[in-house]
Amino acid sequence: MLRLWIASLCFLASVVQAQDVAEISGVVREDVELLIQRGLDDDVAYAFVRGLTTNVGPRLAGSEAEARARSWATRELAELGFANIRTEPFMIPYWSRRVDRARIVSPAPQDLVITALGGSTSTPPGGVEAEVIRFETMRELRAASTDVITGKIVFIDEKMTRTQDGSGYGMAVRKRRNCATTTAEKGGVACLIRSVGTQARRFAHTGMMARSAAVGDGPAAALSPPDAEQLTRLLENGPVQVHLDIQVETQAEAPSGNVIAEVVGRERPEEIVLIGCHLDSWDLGTGAVDDGAGCGIVVGAARLILSLDEAPRRTIRVVLYGAEEVGVLGGRAYAERYADEMGQHILAAESDFGADRVWRFETRFGDGALPYARAIQQMLEPLGIAPGPNSAYGGPDISMLPRLGVPVVSPRQSGWDYFDLHHTPDDTFDKIDQDKLNQNVATYAAFTYLAAEMNWDFRKPAE
Amino acid sequence: MLRLWIASLCFLASVVQAQDVAEISGVVREDVELLIQRGLDDDVAYAFVRGLTTNVGPRLAGSEAEARARSWATRELAELGFANIRTEPFMIPYWSRRVDRARIVSPAPQDLVITALGGSTSTPPGGVEAEVIRFETMRELRAASTDVITGKIVFIDEKMTRTQDGSGYGMAVRKRRNCATTTAEKGGVACLIRSVGTQARRFAHTGMMARSAAVGDGPAAALSPPDAEQLTRLLENGPVQVHLDIQVETQAEAPSGNVIAEVVGRERPEEIVLIGCHLDSWDLGTGAVDDGAGCGIVVGAARLILSLDEAPRRTIRVVLYGAEEVGVLGGRAYAERYADEMGQHILAAESDFGADRVWRFETRFGDGALPYARAIQQMLEPLGIAPGPNSAYGGPDISMLPRLGVPVVSPRQSGWDYFDLHHTPDDTFDKIDQDKLNQNVATYAAFTYLAAEMNWDFRKPAE
């Protein structure tokens, strides 16, 4: 009984401690409020997405267009007055679609709307024609015997669930990642998946299927949702023969790079607060929500801080990563290049989830640094942002940083509509809502400034 | 003063007369109520659209697919138990797209989402490349001098207004019809229009530009709305060079036909109540809202009447017109073939405006037949349908019938969303809402039965 009483007391004490909020001086508080106010009224972020998606357009990793995006961004960042602007190049394996088309040959000849998955191999020249075998889920395909699959085109009709936090995506991606491999293992000739994504319109959704390589294990493509349903209806009546032609171009090595710009810290310039996004996009749309918006947000936020009378103590480093879509290659290149300087990385964040509002602010800090988390979260409350748990993911290009000891934060955006556009031809500039984008700009400006100005140590362990 | 008094009296008398409602016996009233109830619960119409769009798919006028649609429909109508099923063939000029693609060459190389307009000519093999000149409206293009257009690709960015009654379409179609001709007259090399239609997604909207011929006066294509906006943004910065490649196939003559099925009248089988739709569709989608839905509605409605214990007095003729999209050629063929029997056409209606609910019931009757209009309108009130004016258009394939003295009705469907799908790749079966479709089935069953069962003369002049 005494032990239980002591345990309760300890629990209460820890709750009280977790509620501790670090103090922010009136001057800093005023600066943060000013940044929030200016952020909500910002023009830089919107103009950046507009310019990137219009003047460059689609920018496939390793392509000439991605190189143009680096040049364009470099010029823009210079015009905005950033310091230490540079491109840090690296080489990547290159994949690009040349032809991707499919049609039903029988019983009802008609074209299908498809897109080759990133990393698909080519079919034989002129394409393949085979009967389609449908599976409700990836699991069903795994359970199926080689006999029924050999010589066939596999079709996985698994659907994705719409969620605010995007958690439906991870599950849906499994079929994209594994369909070609499992199909090849079982003797199938190609794989078709129902598009990953939540939209119901006639757009197909691309995305990477290979792992750590330019190409995967076979030809694979995604069907638009209406086409997946059409195929399903036809299969109810009997065998369906499909012709699939995918021709891709690959190169062992192609240039990519990370574009970096800084607001140099006035007291401890060697200490880095990193805010990132990725500059590359899939080739179908113009990469507005994925991830032009993210780049607009971090550039816009850093630019607001740059326009203050005095730079914050620490350096703010904006990183526009290259080659995210094809395996987070820019993030890896960065982590490798700066391996020895991870101790000087105070905090990192990445905006790569569209242009909708932030609804929750998550951290991944040392247990002793929770009062800092709470202080930031309190400053963000007027933006309609709730405090989140201390288990933030960070973002794809900074996903390796927590393992290297770097604290991260995740301003979580609503992903309710994100997968209606993501990786489809419909990811274009007209989808960006400036008011929602600016709520992100205000959020990034606020926490980035606090992290750079305060002497907080986000690694601080529990006492 | 006396004259004014008499005029007032006459006006009042005419109002009273207009409010007269023809009587419907209890037995007929019960049959109509039964048809409405069954219509709201119908399965035939939905299954018909499903089958047509799935088992045939797209069915371009004059194509092998349109011929398959006739065969498929003939079989279905026979299975449903209709009488006098027949195809009435006619020949049409044939146009089909082989290649239609465009890309921005400079300043920012990227593909554009376009679709060749029906009747576009081919560009020279391999395409044309030229500077783009933009006009806000068709009127602006007309006012422009030959000097500024010669050698250029004309781009008309005129937008369409969303309306319930579809009235925005007529205006928007003017640019589609006239762009190539005006461009050619002024020495331009090709014409691009912002897609007709109200959707804002990355779909291009096709449709006929030629008049009474397979091909028009030059190469012409529609840009998806996001692509039109992209082009506009780029043009703000300076010259834009576009490469456009359109290759089409044309034939002087190709087969089309109208498919006809009947419910034979029990007393005066020679008197016809015609309800129609069109069987052909554009090639991009599977023609679900345009006009698979309309065919489902008229077939479903006629099938409900067929299933009554006793056929109505007059014959109900269901006409699935061919080649509507390319110039109402099925409608013209029908009017020609039955020119001598127009006097026996008691009433005609066509369903060709999607699958949304009917909100108003319009007539075009002789002035003495308005009590019949009112009687029908009263029976439709429980379906949420308001009475409409006596100036109905009828529908495209029956548009020539009023001039030949045939009374028509228009059950007006809501067109609020229709032009989001119409003539785009996204016009697919998944867009059909069975409840809304069935409100149409109930409506058509009710007025068609009344017109066939009652001895009403809709031509009746004012007394």
Q: What is the mean pLDDT of residues A161-174?
A: 88
**Using CA atoms, how far apart are residues B377 and B381, in angstroms rounded to an integer?**
6
**pLDDT of res. A168:** 86
Token couple for A317: 């480093």
Contact A54 B234 (CB under 8 A): yes
Q: Residue B200 is nearest to which of A68, A108, A430, comparing CB atoms?
A: A430
Chain B CB within 8 Å of residue A98 CB: no
State how far Cα B146 lies from the chain centre.
Answer: 36
> What is the number of other CB atoms lying within 10 angstroms of the CB of residue A10?
10
Best to test chain A binding among B101, B103, B110 (most A CBs inside 10 Å): B110
Q: Which two tokens stand for residue B167?
A: 């009235």
Task: Divide the 463 residues of chain B into consecutive groups of 10 and give the mean pLDDT of each group.
Answer: 49 55 97 98 98 98 98 98 98 97 97 97 97 96 97 96 89 88 95 94 93 80 98 98 97 97 98 98 98 98 98 98 97 98 98 98 98 98 98 97 98 96 98 98 98 98 91
Q: Which residues pair with A242 in a beta bridge?
A: A104, A130
For residue A27, how many other CB atoms are within 10 A of its CB? 9
A92: closest CA of chain B, how far (Å): 22
Instruction: Name the residue among B175, B188, B118, B101 with its Cα closest to residue B146.
Output: B188
Is the torsion defined by CA of B20, B22, B26, B32 positive or negative?
A: negative
Cβ distance B109 to A57 less than 8 Å, yes or no, reads yes
- Main-chain phi, psi angles of A42, to 5 degrees: -70, 150
- Axis-axis angle for helices B44-51, B293-306 (nearest 10): 140
Q: Distance of CA B111 to CAs B149, B244, B289, Å?
A: 23, 10, 29
Q: ipTM beyond 0.90?
A: yes
Q: Per-residue DSSP letters for B301-370?
A: HHHHHHTSSS--SEEEEEEEESS-TTTSHHHHHHHHHTGGGGGGEEEEEE--S-SSPEEEEEEE--GGGH
The Cα of B202 is separated from the nearest Cα of chain A by a number of Å equal to 5
For chain B, say whether A110 makes contact (Cβ under 8 Å): yes
Instruction: Please state, in angstroms and rounded to a whole number, the distance separating the CA atoms of residues A81 and A262.
Output: 9
Facing residues of B91 across strands?
B255
End-to-end CA distance of chain A: 27
* 8 A C-beta contact, residue A207 and residue A118: yes
Q: Which among A54, A226, A426 has the least Cβ separation from residue B233? A: A54
DSSP letter string over B236-268? HHS--EEEEEEEEEEEEEEEEEEEEEEE--SSE
> Scanning the structure block, which residue is given the tokens 């820019």?
A330
CA distance A143 to chain B (A): 29
Predicted local distance difference test score (pLDDT) of residue A211:
67
Which among B437, B422, B454 is positioned nearest to B299, based on CA atoms?
A: B437
pLDDT digits (tens, 9 = 90+) for A49-86: 999 999 999 999 999 999 999 999 999 999 999 999 99
- Can you give the pLDDT at residue A9? 47
C-alpha distance from A254 to closest chain B C-alpha (Å)? 19
In this predicted structure, what is the pLDDT of residue B212? 61
Contact A69, A279 (CB under 8 A): yes
Q: Which of B202, B203, B229 should we substitute to test contact with A (largest number of A Cβ atoms within 10 Å)?
A: B202
Instruction: Decide if A71 touches B, using CB distance below 8 A.
Output: no
Q: How many angstroms separate the CA atoms of B174 and B193, rounded?
A: 11
Return the structure tokens found at B235: 């043009």
Cβ atoms of B361 and B311 closer than 8 Å: no
Report pLDDT for A372.
Answer: 98
Specify the amino acid at residue B39: G
Chain A residues whose beta carbon lies within 8 Å of the beta carbon of residue B229: 428-430
Query: Smallest CA–CA separation between B274 and chain A, in Å?
Result: 30
B425 token code pair: 């790749």
Question: CA A435 to CA A41: how far, in whole Å?
Answer: 8
CB contact under 8 A, A50 and B233: yes
The whole-number pLDDT of residue A333 equals: 98
A230 touches chain B (CB under 8 A): yes
Residues of chain B contacting residue A206, judged by C-beta atoms under 8 Å apart: none
Say whether residue B68 is in contact with chain A using an 8 A CB cutoff: yes
Average of per-residue pLDDT across A91-103: 97
Q: Which of B54, B200, B424 sits opposite A230 (nearest CB)?
A: B54
Which chain A residue lies closest to B59 (C-alpha atoms)? A110
Q: Is the dihedral of CA B381, B383, B389, B392 positive or negative?
A: negative
Q: Do B55 and A230 touch (CB under 8 A)?
A: no
Could you say which of A57, A104, A111 has the minimum Cβ distance to residue B108? A57
Residue A24: its pLDDT value, please?
97
- Contact flag A226-B428 (C-beta cutoff 8 Å): yes
Asked if the Cβ–Cβ distance from B234 to A55 is below 8 Å, we say: yes
Instruction: Report yes or no: B7 at the A interface, CB cutoff 8 Å.
Output: no
Q: Which of B55, B226, B233 sits opposite A108 (nearest CB)?
A: B55
Tokens of residue A341, six digits: 């300087």
Q: Do A108 and B54 touch (CB under 8 A)?
A: yes
DSSP state letters, B154-167: EEE-------SS-H
Alpha-carbon distance of A282 to B302, in angstroms, equals: 50
Is B57 an interface residue toward A (CB < 8 Å)? yes
Q: How far apart are CA B395 and CA B348, in angstroms?
A: 9
Find residues 407-436 of chain A whose CB sits inside 8 Å of chain B. 424-426, 428-430
Angstrom distances, CA of residue B163 to CA of A25, B168, B383, B418, B426: 56, 6, 22, 10, 20
Q: Are strands B386-387 and A190-194 parallel, antiparallel or unpaired?
A: unpaired
Strand ranges for A189-344 from DSSP E: 190-194, 220-223, 241-263, 268-278, 314-321
Q: How many CB atoms within 10 Å of residue A263?
A: 28
- Contacts B424 to A, Cβ<8 Å: 202
Q: Which residues of A touch B226 (CB under 8 A)?
A: 426, 428-430
CB B184 within 8 A of CB B217: yes
Look up tokens 């029924």; give the residue. Answer: A148
Q: How far is CA A22 from CA A10, A17, A372, in A?
A: 22, 11, 5
Q: What is the 3-state secondary structure (H, E, C) of B141-194?
A: HHHCCHHHHCCCEEEECCCCCCCCCCHHHHHHHHHHHHHHHHHHHCCCCEEEEE
CB A427 within 8 A of CB A285: yes
Closest partner residue to A426 (CB to CB) among B54, B109, B202 is B202
Instruction: Give the whole-angstrom CA distance, residue A387 versus residue B365.
Output: 68
d(CA A28, CA A155) in angstroms, rounded, equals: 57
Closest chain B residue to the Cα of A60, Cα to Cα = B110
A322-376 residue pLDDT tens: 999 999 999 999 999 999 999 999 999 999 999 999 999 999 999 999 999 999 9
Q: Return d(Cα A131, Cα A265) in angstroms, integer.
A: 63
- pLDDT number for residue B226: 98
pTM, two decimal places: 0.93
Q: Cβ separation of B108 and A58 shorter than 8 Å?
A: no
Residue A258 has phi, psi (to 5 degrees) of -100, 135
Nearest-CB residue to B108 (from A54, A200, A203): A54
**Contact by Cβ (8 Å): B199, B415:** no
Q: Do A226 and B426 touch (CB under 8 A)?
A: yes
- 8 Å CB contact between A221 and A117: yes
B54 contacts on A by Cβ (under 8 Å): 108, 230, 233-234
**CA A174, chain centre distance (Å):** 16
Q: What is the mean pLDDT of residues A175-192?
A: 94
- Identity (one letter) of the amino acid at B371? P
CB pair distance less than 8 Å for A429 and B226:
yes
Query: Is the Cβ pair A233, B50 closer than 8 Å?
Result: yes
- Cross-chain Cβ contact A226/B107 below 8 Å: no
Q: What confidence score (pLDDT) does residue B3 get? A: 53
Search chain B and give the residue with CA nearest A427.
B202
Please name the residue that has the structure tokens 């422009």: B144
Structural contact between residues B361 and B381, judged by C-beta atoms closer than 8 angstroms: no
Measure CB to CB from residue B201 to each of A111, A233, A426 and give the nearest one. A426
CA distance B7 to B30: 41
Write the DSSP assignment of B417-462 as a string of letters.
TGGGTTTSTT--GGG--HHHHHHHHHHHHHHHHHHHHS---TT---
B395: left (phi over 0), alpha (psi -120 to 50) or beta: left
Longest dimension (CA), chain B: 80
